[in-house]
C-alpha cells in the first residue's frame, strides 16, 4: 500500500466521524418548536409569504423554469427562498426545515449582512429587539441589525447580470422615510403592546410577523391617494387632470418582483352613460432581454427599458384630453387604480391577480364655452354670463401674449 493511500484512508476514516458531527451542528431548529412559547409569532408567520417562500406555486413554477434554463440557479434561488440551505446545502429540499421558506431560526440567528450574504449560525444566541430578555429555553442577544432596514436588504435588493432586479431597499434609502428613521419593520411588522412569550411580562412593543405587502388588499388600499384635480373645457374638448400620490409606501409602487404592475384605467361617458373615451396608463419596471423583448423571467434580463413607478410621497399628474359631443351637457369621468400580478403557475395557466385599490368618479356639468373651469355644482343664474366675460378676457390676454 502506498503512503498516499494510507493517508487517504486515514482522512476518510476521520471524515466519517467528523462529518456527521458537523452536520448535527448545522441542524437549525424547526419553526414549529417555537409555537409553545411564541404562539402569536408562529401563527402570524405561518400566514406570511415568508413561510411560503419555497412552496408557493408562483415561486415553484418560476423556479422550475429557471432550473430548465440553467441548473445552477438552484443554489442561487434557494439562497433567499430557503436561506437555511446556505448552511445545510440541502438543495434538494429533503429536510423539513428546508421547505419552511424564510423561517424563525434563520432570521433570529443572523448577526451580520453584507450585500446578499448573511452571517448566521445555529449556535448563535436568539437575536432580537430586547436587551433584557431572559429565558431558560435559549440564550438571547440584543441585535440592532434586526431592527433596521439593512437586515431586510440582503434579500429584498439584488441584481442579476448587473441589472438591478429588486431595488426596494435603495428606493427606501432615497426616500424621506429613511431620513425620518422609519424602517421596513415599522410598516411591515407593526408593533403593539403585549407579551413577547407566553406568560412573559407585558412589553410596550412586540412585533407582528405578517409582513403584509402586495398580497394583502387592505395594505394595498392604503397605498395611494387618487383624486381629480380639475376639469377644463375648451370648445368641444375637455381636459381632466388627475393626481396620484404615493401616500403611505416607503418605496416605489409597485416594488420588488418586476412582474407587478399598477394600471390606471380612465373612462369618460356622456350624459346618456355612453362611453366616449377610455385610456389605460401603466406604472411598472420593464425588464428586457438582449434583443429588447420584454421578459417576465428576471434572470433573462439584460437591461431595464422603462421604469415609471411612483416614488414615495411623489404626486404624479396625469392629463387626459378628449372630445365631448355637442349634444351632451354633462360628462362623467371615472378613474381606477388596479394592482396586477400576472404569473404563470405550475399548470402553465396564466394566473393573474387584479385588485382595485383606489377609485374616483365625478359628474360634471359642461358650460359648453371656451376655457372655463367646469363645475360639478349646480349653475347659479348669472354665472354663465360672468363666466363668458371671464373667458373673453382670458382669450384676449392669451392673444395679446402670443402677438
Ligand atoms: C420554552 C419557551 C420558549 C421556547 C420554546 C422558545 N422561546 Fe424564545 N423566548 C422565550 C421567553 C420567555 C423569552 C423572553 C421574552 C421577554 O423577554 O419578554 C424569549 C425571547 C425570544 C426572543 C427575543 C430575544 C431578544 O433578546 O430580543 C426571540 C427572538 C425568540 N425568543 C425567538 C425564539 C425562536 C425563534 C424560538 C424557536 C426556535 C424560540 N424563541 C423558542 C421562551 C421561549
Ligand atoms: C432570507 C431572505 C429574506 C429576508 C431576510 C427577508 N425577506 Fe421578505 N421576502 C423574502 C422572499 C423570498 C419573499 C417572497 C416569498 C414568496 O411569495 O414566494 C418575501 C416576501 C416579503 C413580503 C411580502 C411581499 C408581498 O408581495 O406580499 C414583505 C412585505 C417582506 N418580505 C418584507 C420583509 C421585511 C420587512 C424584512 C426584514 C425585517 C424581510 N422581508 C426579510 C425573503 C426575505
Ligand atoms: C424575516 C425574518 C424573520 C422571521 C422569519 C421571523 N422573525 Fe421574529 N423578528 C424579526 C425581526 C426583524 C424582529 C424585530 C423587529 C423590530 O425590532 O423592529 C423580530 C422579533 C421577534 C421577537 C421579539 C418579540 C416579539 O414578539 O416581537 C420574537 C419573540 C420573535 N421575533 C419570534 C419569532 C418566531 C417564533 C418566528 C417564527 C415563527 C419568527 N420570529 C420569525 C424577524 C423575523
Ligand atoms: C412607510 C411604510 C413602508 C415602509 C417604510 C416600507 N414599506 Fe414596504 N410596503 C408598504 C405598503 C403600504 C405596501 C403595499 C403597497 C405596495 O404593494 O406597493 C408595501 C409593499 C411592499 C412589498 C410588496 C411589493 C409590492 O409593490 O407589492 C415588499 C416586498 C415590501 N413592501 C418590502 C419592504 C422593504 C424591504 C422595506 C424596507 C427597505 C419596506 N417595504 C419599507 C409600506 C412600507
Ligand atoms: C437575493 C434574494 C433572492 C434571490 C436570489 C431570488 N429571489 Fe425570488 N424573491 C425574493 C424576494 C425578497 C421576493 C419578494 C419580493 C416581492 O414580493 O416583491 C421574491 C419573490 C419571488 C417571486 C414572486 C412570488 C410571489 O408569489 O409573488 C418569484 C416567482 C421568485 N421570487 C422567483 C425566484 C427565482 C426563480 C429565483 C432564482 C432564479 C429567485 N426568485 C431568486 C428574493 C430573492
Ligand 4 pocket: which residues have CB below 6 Å? 149, 152, 156, 168-169, 172, 177, 182, 184, 187-188, 213-214, 219-220, 222-223, 248-251, 253-256, 260
How large is the average pLDDT for residues 39-59? 95
399 pLDDT higher than 70: no
Q: Which ligand is nearest to the CA of 140?
A: 1
SS (H, E, C) 161-211: CCEEEEEHHHHHHCCHHHHCCCCHHHHHCCEEEEECCCCCCEEEEEECCCC
Q: How confident is the model at residue 375 (pLDDT cuts 50, 70, 90)?
A: low
How large is the average pLDDT for residues 192-211? 95
Span 152-187, pLDDT tens digits: 999 999 999 899 999 999 999 999 999 999 999 999
Average pLDDT, the chain: 86
Beta strands in 258-329 (DSSP E): 260-270, 275-283, 285-288, 303-307, 315-323
pLDDT value at position 396? 41
pLDDT value at position 372? 54
Dihedral (CA of 340, 341, 343, 349) sign: negative
400 pLDDT higher than 90: no
pLDDT value at position 126? 97
Give the strand pairing for 140-142 and 126-128.
parallel
Q: How confident is the model at residue 128 (pLDDT cuts 50, 70, 90)?
A: very high
SS3 assignment, position 136: coil
Atom 1 in ligand 3: which residue has the minimum CA distance? 107
How large is the average pLDDT for residues 229-251? 93
Span 313-368, pLDDT tens digits: 999 999 999 999 888 889 999 999 999 987 766 555 666 778 888 999 999 988 77
Q: Which ligand is nearest to the CA of 220?
A: 4
Q: How confident is the model at residue 87 (pLDDT cuts 50, 70, 90)?
A: very high
pLDDT value at position 373? 59
Atom 3 in ligand 3: which residue has the minimum CA distance? 107
Tell me, in angstroms, the distance from the centre of ligand 1 to residue 346's CA: 38
How large is the average pLDDT for residues 47-64? 94
Domains in the chain, ordered, with CATH?
3-207 (no CATH), 217-375 (2.60.40.10)
Please report the atom of ligand 4 found closest to the CA of residue 152.
35
Q: Tell the residue number behind the cell numbers 434557494, with chain if given.
A: 78
More confident residue, 379 or 181: 181
Amino acid at each position: 500500500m502506498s503512503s498516499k493511500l494510507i493517508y487517504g484512508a486515514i482522512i476518510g476514516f476521520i471524515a466519517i466521524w467528523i462529518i456527521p458531527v458537523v452536520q448535527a451542528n448545522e441542524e437549525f431548529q424547526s419553526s414549529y418548536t417555537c409555537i409553545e412559547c411564541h404562539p402569536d409569532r408562529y401563527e402570524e408567520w405561518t400566514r406570511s409569504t415568508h413561510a411560503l417562500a419555497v412552496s408557493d406555486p408562483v415561486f415553484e413554477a418560476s423556479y422550475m423554469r429557471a432550473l430548465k434554463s440553467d441548473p445552477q440557479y438552484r443554489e442561487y434561488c434557494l439562497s433567499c427562498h430557503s436561506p437555511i440551505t446556505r448552511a445545510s446545502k440541502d438543495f434538494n429540499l429533503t429536510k423539513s426545515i428546508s421547505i419552511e421558506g424564510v423561517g424563525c431560526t434563520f432570521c433570529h440567528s443572523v448577526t451580520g449582512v453584507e450585500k446578499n450574504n448573511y452571517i448566521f449560525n445555529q449556535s448563535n444566541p436568539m437575536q432580537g429587539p430586547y436587551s433584557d430578555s431572559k429565558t431558560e429555553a435559549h440564550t438571547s442577544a440584543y441585535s440592532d441589525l434586526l431592527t433596521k432596514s439593512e437586515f431586510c436588504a440582503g434579500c429584498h435588493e439584488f441584481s442579476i447580470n448587473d441589472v438591478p432586479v429588486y431595488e426596494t431597499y435603495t428606493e427606501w434609502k432615497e426616500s424621506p422615510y429613511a431620513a425620518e428613521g422609519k424602517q421596513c419593520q415599522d410598516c411591515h411588522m407593526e408593533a403593539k403592546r403585549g407579551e413577547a412569550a407566553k406568560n412573559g411580562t407585558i412589553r410596550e412593543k412586540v412585533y407582528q410577523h405578517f409582513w403584509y405587502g402586495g398580497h394583502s388588499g387592505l395594505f394595498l388600499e392604503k397605498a395611494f391617494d387618487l383624486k381629480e384635480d380639475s376639469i377644463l373645457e375648451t370648445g368641444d374638448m375637455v381636459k381632466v387632470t388627475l393626481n396620484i400620490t404615493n401616500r403611505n409606501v416607503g418605496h416605489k409602487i409597485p416594488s420588488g418582483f418586476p412582474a407587478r404592475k399598477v394600471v390606471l384605467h380612465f373612462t369618460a361617458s356622456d350624459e346618456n352613460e355612453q362611453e366616449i373615451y377610455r385610456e389605460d396608463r401603466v406604472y411598472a419596471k420593464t425588464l428586457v432581454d438582449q434583443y429588447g423583448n420584454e421578459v417576465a423571467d428576471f434572470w433573462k434580463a439584460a437591461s431595464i427599458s422603462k421604469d415609471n413607478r411612483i416614488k414615495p410621497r411623489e404626486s404624479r399628474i396625469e392629463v387626459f384630453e378628449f372630445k365631448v359631443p355637442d349634444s351632451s351637457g354633462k360628462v362623467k369621468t371615472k378613474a381606477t387604480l388596479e394592482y396586477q400580478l400576472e404569473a404563470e403557475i405550475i399548470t402553465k395557466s396564466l394566473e393573474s391577480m387584479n385588485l382595485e385599490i383606489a377609485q374616483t368618479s365625478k359628474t360634471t356639468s359642461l358650460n359648453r364655452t371656451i376655457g372655463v373651469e367646469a363645475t360639478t355644482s349646480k349653475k347659479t343664474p348669472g354665472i354663465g354670463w360672468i363666466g363668458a366675460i371671464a373667458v373673453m378676457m382670458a382669450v384676449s390676454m392669451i392673444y395679446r401674449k402670443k402677438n
